[in-house]
Structure 1
Amino acid sequence: NYQAAAAGLPAQAEREMVFDAESATLHTTAAMLVPHFHDGQEPRAAHTDHLIELLRDAAHHSLNARRALTLTARVAASLDKTDLRVMLTEANLRALVRLCGASELFGEMLASNPTLIETLTIEHERIADRDYRALLRAAIDREKNYGAELAALRRTWMRLLVERGARDAVGELSLSESNEFQTALATASINAALLIARRELARRFGQLAAGPRLAVFGLGRLGSGGMDYGSDLDLVLVYDPLVPTPIAGLTHEEAYARLAELMTTALSSMTREGHLYRVDLRLRPDGKNGPLARGAQSFLDYFRSDSAQIWEWLAYVKLRATGGDLELGRMIEREVRRLIHERARHIDKEELRNETRRVRERLERERAARPARATDIKFGAGGMLDVYFAARYLQLRDDVRDDEDAGRSTFATLTRLHAAGSLNDEDQRALSDGYACLRALDHSLRLIAGRSSHLPAAPDHPLLRDLARRNNYDSADALTHALSTHMKEIRAAYDRITGGDC
């Protein structure tokens, strides 16, 4: 240690400095980063000392200094093992350390692909209006086979996610801006995956007999425009049976099943470059027993008949055409939501209420966190599902339909229900304020720890302190107290709305 020796510190003190965990991490990390700063004019040791101080300062100004140094060290080690040349500046190194301190999710991404460091300081104006669909397509168009297309899609997707998500992690995006960005990226990814699937179908079966006419629909967060880090894609696929089958010799159902499998693989398979999303097709009509893709007439007939259950109404009331043939998709979307509201108008309200509560209680019983004192902010009592089920139940009970211009988010739905007189002031405030708290914590959990829903059981857990700091609470105790209050108020409002015992 040059500084310690120059200062004439005793040998014991010098050894203590060297073996101090933080100091050791700083020295090792700086040494691995120096080659990416060295300009050939200044001595390497001088660069190392400068980097040590820069790393220390940036870490201690981040959300979590220990996480910042640990993940930055992993990124540096990844750089050290590769021949890739990444030009580091003070600006992007500070941005890297700050991001690592704020997000394990993005720190791990950068450790697996350190060239992404260069995206951290791109000007906001350059990324604000990205055409994600065009950028993903351009990356795919350069490739000639299925594997290369999957790799190009993943590399481009990750770069787009990091350049915007890095700003989200350090508080430069609002939650609504983040949801909007992630929903747009997911939508573009679905269309890119469908393009890859169509090309691979042609490679395997020869020139297609007809262009596939397939609409891709989103449910859940994709349907409501609330995608977040790690959100699944809940998809439903519907084709036009009046157009000839794309593959001569195969039925519509067989041909579109192959297209669906290729598209799902493009989105969800794990490759060297990672994966994009988990894809869930289980919400399609007849679930796992139904075809992967369904003809449009059969799909509509399903919702005209008694086959569609009330739980499906609650899910499909937020159906949204997101990819493929949007003309076909929007026509089907409008008709399905009309059918659901029409059938809900004629059902016994007590049956609607009882079935809503039954489904919600089953999810709480089967999915809520089990460990003692753990808090599940999604499936637990007073969690986000209480808000979802209350809002959708009222939409069906009172025939309050989504307004496309006002959006379909849960916040927009609660506002619309209040304006329609379905929600009184007390319940609207309890659900809206409580949901805002839950969504902010869920978003922070995804960013910081790469997971959602479950808060640590231990009251002194470091993650709770990080969550409190990121969400502007004075302490972890203040956060848990506010959360407990909101969840109790949400459950009380849910019980009042659905007629349960308070």
Structure 2
Amino acid sequence: AEEERRREAEPELALLIDELDQRERALRRLGQLGFRDRESAYRELRLLRDGPPHAPASARRRAALVRLAPALLTEIARSAAPERALRHLATFVSTIGARTSYLHLLLENPGVMRLLVRLFATSEFLSAFFLRHPELLDSLVRADLMRIERTREDMAAELGERLAAAPDLEARLDTLRRFRHEEFLRVGVHDIEGTLEPAEVGRQLTSLAETCLAAALAIARGEVLARAGVPDTAASQGLAVLGLGKLGGGELVYASDLDLIFVYDPSDPAWWSGHAVPHEFFTRVAQRAISALATPTREGIAYRIDTRLRPSGNQGPLVSSLEAFAAYHRSGARLWERQALIKARVVAGPPALGARLEAIVAEFVYGRGLGPAEVAEIAHMRARLERERGAADGPAVNIKTGRGGLVDVEFLVQMLELRHGHAHPAVRVRDTPGAITALAAAGLLGPGDARALAEGYAFLRALESRLRLEHDQPLEVTAADPAALLALARRLGYRGADGEAVAALRADHARHGDAIRAVYDRHFAAPAA
């Protein structure tokens, strides 16, 4: 009924701009279109049509807006968050000022107009970046700049050219961040449009992170070498970076931290004896690389970096030699570190060093199976995580660490990989969906259980992606506020009346959560063979 009422009101949108001087009539029509905060919407529309008091709209801009308004307001009314979309649109028009060419571009490209409204309704982060750089509207039109997928090599080539043109360190750091944000916009736009599958979103974001990390390492090494006054050689490039978590698994989501471990190989002793101490040199490179990614500039940050998974955690050195890394994992590492290194993958550094490092990791993770006591220990770790971090207030739920959440799937899959990976190399898969498929193919996970885990994981990842796309922050708790929950349901594609959409989202979440927990309990209750 609500949807039908809105559609019946849409033909009258053409009258709304003209009726703004008749306040009560305009407010009534906004209510019919589904705007909850009619007063705010009315103010935004006045601002959109007339411009701010200090810079009133020109006759030309006003004429363009009057032509654009019916189609534009129709898309806004149909969007997941009409008030937010209208607010960002008013800011966009205010930002472009007298440049009416942008408005004509929207008139001539209705598909771009729809996309812009969906962007404004879906992501505060991407909207804020777009509003700082409205010239990127051209990139939404130019297909060559909005390719659906890009390879890491393609991204690296473009970023390298742009960094080479930057005159100093400050400019290079801003260039790095600007590139990251533009690529986030590209991926986010295609994600919102549905032209990228969720798994490909993860791969694109992973390739982007690896590209930015490689660039940050190059910037850092150049700075350290310049300060030391020594040349760049193969020896000075002997630093490999292990990516763990979602980065290692190729499953990055918006706002993911990068979990990193830095490992170096002090080859060519003669070169080092004349120039630097390897551990000190590579520590400085790692520190500067982290700073190049995580220090705020006028363009924000590129990535948050987490190095706590390194040997001995925060108590250990930032970088390890290959020999020290191997010795630690032969003697001092714990079960949770085996579990964490399932996803470990070399994401930067010399290929030969990377291969040696991954061989050490594989031996540590899969050199033996998993006994009953260790299966129980993993279950205990999961229960403690749920108890300490899985709670949420009121009707909100934690989709990551709560009951039947993402961590249920990940811990179960990782337990099965550790238990069987020694004898079944085919199940040594880093990404969770791929591991579920491999375990099922090996007969180690029943078809029904595999389906429940795969479908539930995909559903929860979609939820997580939409939550994080909202603010570029690591959010895993669904909103308790009904209006925010409705907006989330709309962004996920739930249709129908407002109450029906929210109820359907909650029902789907409960169904998947129950199915995941049932599979989890069944496997952890079974004796470990």
Moved more, 64-73 or 380-389: 64-73
Q: 1:49 aligns with which of 50, 57, 66?
A: 66
* Map of 1:63 onto structure 2: 80
Q: 1:239 aligns with which of 229, 254, 264?
A: 264
Q: Per-residue deviation at 1:161? A: 1.9
* Map of 1:435 onto structure 2: 457
Query: Are the counterparts in 1 of residues 237 and 349 from structure 2 also a CA contact under 8 Å?
Result: no
Moved more, 149-158 or 199-208: 199-208
Moved more, 436-445 or 275-284: 436-445
* Map of 1:89 onto structure 2: 105
Q: Residue 262 of structure 2: SS of its match in structure 1?
A: strand
Amino acid in the other structure paired with 1:150:
L
Q: Verify: 1:467 aligned to 2:492, yes or no.
A: no
In 2, the alpha carbon distance for the partners of 1:494 and 1:360 equals 11
Task: Give the unaligned 5+ runs of structure 2.
Answer: 1-13, 31-37
Query: Are the counterparts in 2 of residues 281 and 292 from structure 1 also a CA contact under 8 Å?
Result: yes
| 1:302-321 CA distance string (max 9 Å, x none) | 1121x110000001011101
Q: 2:173 aligns with which of 145, 150, 166?
A: 150
Q: 1:106 aligns with which of 115, 126, 147?
A: 126
Q: Verify: 1:118 aligned to 2:163, yes or no.
A: no
* Map of 1:226 onto structure 2: 251
Amino acid in the other structure paired with 1:242:
S
Alignment of 1:88-487 (within 5 A): 89-90=105-106, 91=109, 92-123=112-143, 127=147, 128-129=149-150, 131-208=154-231, 210=233, 211-244=236-269, 250-305=276-331, 307-342=332-367, 344-345=368-369, 349-399=371-421, 403=426, 408-451=430-473, 452-458=475-481, 460-468=482-490, 470-472=492-494, 475-487=501-513
Moved more, 395-404 or 152-161: 395-404
Q: Residue 317 of structure 1: SS of its match in structure 2?
A: helix
Query: Are the counterparts in 2 of residues 352 and 397 from structure 1 also a CA contact under 8 Å?
Result: no
Q: Per-residue deviation at 1:376? A: 0.5
Amino acid in the other structure paired with 2:522:
R
In 1, the alpha carbon distance for the partners of 2:418 and 2:185 equals 39
Q: Residue 183 of structure 1: SS of its match in structure 2?
A: helix
In 1, the alpha carbon distance for the partners of 2:349 and 2:243 equals 12
Q: Verify: 1:28 aligned to 2:28, yes or no.
A: no
Q: Residue 248 of structure 2: SS of its match in structure 1?
A: helix
Amino acid in the other structure paired with 1:148:
A
Moved more, 119-128 or 269-278: 119-128
In 2, the alpha carbon distance for the partners of 1:247 and 1:138 equals 34
Quickly say closer, same or farther: Cα 1:29–1:205, change in 2 above 3 A. farther
TM-score in terms of structure 1 length: 0.87
Query: Are the counterparts in 2 of residues 209 and 246 from structure 1 also a CA contact under 8 Å?
Result: no
Quickly say closer, same or farther: Cα 1:144–1:248, change in 2 above 3 A. farther
Query: Are the counterparts in 2 of residues 136 and 157 from structure 1 also a CA contact under 8 Å?
Result: no
Amino acid in the other structure paired with 1:168:
D
Quickly say closer, same or farther: Cα 1:314–1:44, change in 2 above 3 A. closer
In 1, the alpha carbon distance for the partners of 2:381 and 2:194 equals 36
In 1, the alpha carbon distance for the partners of 2:316 and 2:17 equals 74
In 2, the alpha carbon distance for the partners of 1:49 and 1:134 equals 43
Q: Residue 71 of structure 1: SS of its match in structure 2?
A: helix
Moved more, 144-153 or 275-284: 144-153
| 1:40-73 CA distance string (max 9 Å, x none) | 9x84432231233343123123332222111222
Query: Are the counterparts in 1 of residues 429 and 438 from structure 2 also a CA contact under 8 Å?
Result: no
Q: Per-residue deviation at 1:230? A: 0.4
Q: Per-residue deviation at 1:5? A: 11
In 1, the alpha carbon distance for the partners of 2:77 and 2:312 equals 54
Quickly say closer, same or farther: Cα 1:84–1:250, change in 2 above 3 A. farther
* Map of 2:517 onto structure 1: 491
Query: Are the counterparts in 1 of residues 61 and 100 from structure 2 also a CA contact under 8 Å?
Result: no
In 2, the alpha carbon distance for the partners of 1:140 and 1:427 equals 48
TM-score in terms of structure 2 length: 0.83
Query: Are the counterparts in 1 of residues 26 and 42 from structure 2 also a CA contact under 8 Å?
Result: no
Query: Are the counterparts in 1 of residues 230 and 275 from structure 2 also a CA contact under 8 Å?
Result: no
Q: Per-residue deviation at 1:284? A: 0.4
In 1, the alpha carbon distance for the partners of 2:28 and 2:220 equals 59
- Among all aligned residue pairs of Structure 1 and Structure 2, give the percentage whose two residues are the same amino acid: 32
In 1, the alpha carbon distance for the partners of 2:76 and 2:132 equals 20
In 2, the alpha carbon distance for the partners of 1:11 and 1:416 equals 62
| 1:28-48 CA distance string (max 9 Å, x none) | 235559xxxx9x9x8443223
Q: Residue 375 of structure 1: SS of its match in structure 2?
A: coil
In 1, the alpha carbon distance for the partners of 2:143 and 2:22 equals 48
Q: Residue 215 of structure 1: SS of its match in structure 2?
A: strand
Query: Are the counterparts in 1 of residues 64 and 104 from structure 2 also a CA contact under 8 Å?
Result: no
In 2, the alpha carbon distance for the partners of 1:151 and 1:463 equals 35
Q: Residue 396 of structure 1: SS of its match in structure 2?
A: helix
